[in-house]
A and B are shown apart, each in its own frame.
Chain A
Amino acid sequence: MVIKLLFASGPSINTRLLVAVLLSVLMLVIDQHNPRLIKLRSALSYVVYPILSTVNLPFEFFSNLKNSAISYIELREENKRLKEQQFISDGKLLKFAALEKENIRLRSLLQSSYKIGEQVLVAEILSVNLVPFDHVVLVNKGSRFGLHLKQPVLDAQGVVGQVVRTSPLTSEVMLITDPNHAIPVQINRNGLRTIAVGTGQLNRLILPFLPNNADVQPGDLLITSGMGGTFPQGYPVAVVERVEAQPHRPFALISATPKAALDKIREVLIVWSDSKSVPLNTAGSSDTNASTDKSSSDTTPPAATEELLPEKYPAVLRRKKVFKPVDDESSTLVIDPEPSVVNEPKVGATDIMSTEKIERSGEEMND
Chain B
Amino acid sequence: MTSPNPFGTLLYLMTVVWAMGLKIMPLSTVIQPWNPDWVLLVMIYWFLALPYRCGVFSAWMIGILTDVLTGRMLGQYALIYAVISYICLKLYKRIRLFPLLQQGAFIFFCLLFAQILAFCIESIHNPSRFEFAFLFPAFSGTLVWPFVGVILRIIRVRNRVG
Contact = CB atoms under 8 A, between A and B. Distances in A.
Q: Do A and B bind each other?
A: yes
A52 B65 CA distance: 12
A129 B70 CA distance: 8
B90 A13 contact: yes
Interface string A339-352: 00000000000000
B75 A55 contact: no
A13 B59 CA distance: 13
A27 B76 CA distance: 9
B79 A25 contact: yes
Contacts of A110: none
A304 interface: no
B68 interface: yes
Interface residues of A, number: 45
Interface stretch (B106-114, B125-133, B142-150, B151-159): B125-133
Interface string A168-199: 00001000000110000000000000000000
Given A127-B26, A128-B26, A16 B52 contact: no
A20 B68 contact: no
Interface string B85-97: 0100110000000
A45 B68 contact: yes
B74 interface: yes
Interface string A2-44: 1011000000010011001101111110111000010011001
Nearest to A8: B52
Interface stretch (A131-139, A216-224, A293-301): A131-139
A131 B72 contact: yes
B72 A2 contact: no
B55 A51 contact: no
A129 B21 contact: no
Contact of B71 (A23, A28, A51, A136): A136
B20 A51 contact: yes
Interface string A158-170: 0000000101000
B60 to A, nearest CB: 4
Q: Give the residue among A24, A32, A129, A138 with the most B Cβ atoms within 10 A.
A: A24
B128 A172 contact: no
Interface string A95-136: 000000000000000000000000000000001111111001
A165 B60 contact: no
Interface string B112-138: 000000000100111010000110010
B24 A129 contact: yes
Given A16-B57, A20-B82, A31 B128 contact: no
Which applies to chain A's interface (DSSP): helix, strand, loop or mixed? helix
B69 A48 contact: yes
A1 interface: yes
Contacts of B72: 131
Nearest to A27: B75
A128 B78 contact: no
Contact of B55 (A16, A25, A167): A16
Contacts of B134: 133
A26 B64 CA distance: 13
Given A51-B17, A52-B24, A180-B126, A131 B75 contact: no
A55 B21 CA distance: 6
Contacts of B25: 55, 128-129
A37 B75 CA distance: 11
Contact of A24 (B79, B90, B162): B79
A1 B4 contact: yes
Contacts of A45: 68
B21 A20 contact: no
B56 interface: yes
B8 interface: yes
A54 interface: yes
Interface string B1-15: 001101010000000
Nearest to A48: B69
B75 A51 contact: no
A129 B34 CA distance: 13
B124 A32 contact: yes
A52 B68 CA distance: 11
15 contacts: A17-B83, A20-B56, A20-B60, A21-B79, A26-B75, A30-B74, A47-B65, A51-B20, A55-B25, A128-B25, A129-B25, A132-B32, A136-B71, A172-B71, A180-B126
Cβ-closest 5 pairs across A and B: A27-B75, A24-B79, A20-B82, A24-B75, A28-B75
Given A28-B124, A130-B71, A132-B137, 5 more contacts: A20-B56, A24-B75, A25-B79, A27-B75, A48-B65
Interface of B: 3-4, 6, 8, 17, 20-21, 24-27, 29, 32-33, 35, 52-53, 55-57, 59-60, 63-65, 68-76, 78-79, 82-83, 86, 89-90, 121, 124-126, 128, 133-134, 137, 162
